[in-house]
């Protein structure tokens, strides 16, 4: 099947399903008195599954009529800064040297290989080094940069390419 024919098929199906898209709800956009500055944010989600930058979460956009809680499929969202969780001292991948931020300014510590220092409002210590992801690798095409999303989606790769899944996401890579 040629790529041109596949795109035409996608467009035809999209037009046919256009009537089944999101429908307005009575309370759409009236989320608990949200102010205009509270709803600003980069676009995310939608049919393309566009991710947010690190430290941000994709939430439903209260300005549109699409409501995922009322059957709206592929609703777009906006990126909002994630609220940091309360410090427990048991955060995954973190090992505290001190839980006193003031004391942390006086401590000189070195992390073992594979770990990097961290300093936050809860203290300081060593955390696992994040993987270095090369999203510009010409031999790879990412479908998602979120491993959790990768665990829930199915995709096929073109001939000469094979699927890959790692801590950076998933997609298709050239067969070597």
Per-residue pLDDT of the chain (176 residues; tens, 9 = 90+): 455 545 445 444 444 444 444 444 444 444 433 444 444 678 888 878 888 887 788 888 888 888 776 666 678 888 887 765 567 777 777 899 999 989 999 999 999 988 899 998 889 999 988 778 889 999 999 999 998 999 999 999 999 999 999 889 999 999 98
- The single-letter DSSP state of residue 23 is -
Residues in the chain: 176
The domain ranges of the chain are: 35-83, 94-128, 140-174
pTM above the 0.85 mark?
A: no
Query: What residues contact residue 98 under an 8 Å CB cut-off, 6+ apart?
Result: 104, 107, 123, 124, 125
**Per-residue confidence (pLDDT) for residue 106, from 0 to 100:** 93
CA distances from 63 to 36, 72, 103 (A): 9, 14, 45
Give yes or no for a contact between 149 and 140, defined as CB atoms under 8 angstroms apart: no
Kind plus residue range of the DSSP H or E element containing 148: helix 147-150
* Alpha-carbon dihedral 98, 83, 47, 164, rounded to 10 degrees: 0
Question: Residue 3's pLDDT is what?
Answer: 53
What phi and psi, each to the nearest 5 degrees, are found at residue 119? -135, 125
Contact 169, 145 (CB under 8 A): yes
């Amino acid at each position: 099947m040629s790529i041109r024919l596949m795109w035409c098929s996608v467009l035809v199906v999209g037009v046919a399903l256009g009537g089944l898209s999101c429908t307005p709800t009575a309370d759409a956009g009236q989320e608990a008195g949200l102010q205009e500055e509270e709803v600003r944010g980069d676009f995310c989600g939608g049919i393309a599954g566009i991710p947010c930058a690190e430290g941000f979460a994709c939430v439903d956009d209260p300005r549109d009529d699409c409501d995922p809680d009322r059957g709206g499929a592929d609703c777009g969202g906006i990126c909002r800064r994630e609220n940091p969780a309360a410090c427990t001292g048991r955060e995954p991948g973190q090992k505290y040297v001190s839980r006193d931020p003031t004391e942390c300014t006086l401590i000189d510590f070195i992390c073992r290989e594979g770990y990097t220092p961290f300093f936050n409002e809860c203290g300081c210590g060593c955390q696992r080094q994040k993987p270095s992801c090369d999203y510009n690798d010409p031999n790879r095409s990412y479908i998602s940069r979120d491993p959790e999303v990768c665990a829930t989606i199915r995709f096929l790769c073109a001939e000469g390419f094979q699927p890959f899944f790692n801590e950076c996401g998933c997609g298709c890579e050239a067969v070597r």
